[in-house]
A = this chain, B = another copy of it.
Amino acid sequence: MKKSIGANTIIYPTPVFVIGTYDKSGKPNVMTASWGGICCSVPPSVAISLRKATYTFGNIMEQKAFTINIPSLSHVKEADYFGIATGKTTDKFSATGLTPVKSDIVNAPYIKEFLFNLECKVIHTLEIGLHTQFIGEIVDIKVDEDGLGETGLPDIEKIKPFLYDPGSSNYYGIGEYLGKAFSIGESF
């Protein structure tokens, strides 16, 4: 039996993206956002949605660039803080002791201590409603050696990302391996 729960922004899984930007003066900022995901394979692109009221919104409008930094389990507290504090009045890097590194490709900082960093340049901006969607072309991905598998590719089991449940406002880790995509469903 199905129950209607009304219109709501709940879906599973929802990511925890830490967005890195510079403001006009070059001050690095980070903000946690969960509205987004990959949106195109060619060019490789990712979408993030932000409210105009955020400091990051103004930074992206100014710089047309951002990074997405994926927090590991060990940084869940920092990632949550980045969604609570505002860069308007706070230096979030100083507060947490994390290190901003200027991207060599786009005008945005990534977080040195986070294992997985995407560097993006804005190619589309779409007004939807309360949120504005920025589509960033992924121009490079930097991965810490600690997050690489034996093949030299990023390894989710080493990176240990986590996710957000918008229904309960809880964070959850990544669970057990279930099988290979484009393979385990072949037998129907």
Contact = CB atoms under 8 A, between A and B. Distances in A.
B179 A176 contact: no
Contacts of A7: 43-44, 137-141
B171 A179 contact: yes
A80 B183 contact: yes
Interface in A15-68: 15, 17, 34-47, 49, 68
Contact of A178 (B70, B128, B138, B162): B162
A2 interface: yes
Contacts of A155: 167-168
A12 B129 contact: no
Interface of A: 1-15, 17, 34-47, 49, 68, 70, 73, 76-85, 95-96, 101, 112, 116-118, 123-124, 126, 128-131, 133, 135, 137-145, 148, 152-156, 159, 161-188
B124 A184 contact: no
B179 A9 contact: no
Nearest to A76: B178
A180 to B, nearest CB: 6
Contacts of A164: 181
Contacts of A118: 11
Contacts of A4: 140-142
Contact of A38 (B34, B116, B126, B142): B34
17 contacts: A2-B144, A6-B141, A10-B141, A11-B118, A15-B37, A43-B128, A47-B133, A73-B178, A80-B181, A82-B185, A123-B128, A164-B181, A171-B181, A171-B184, A172-B176, A172-B178, A174-B174
A184 B83 CA distance: 11
Contacts of A129: 40-43, 45
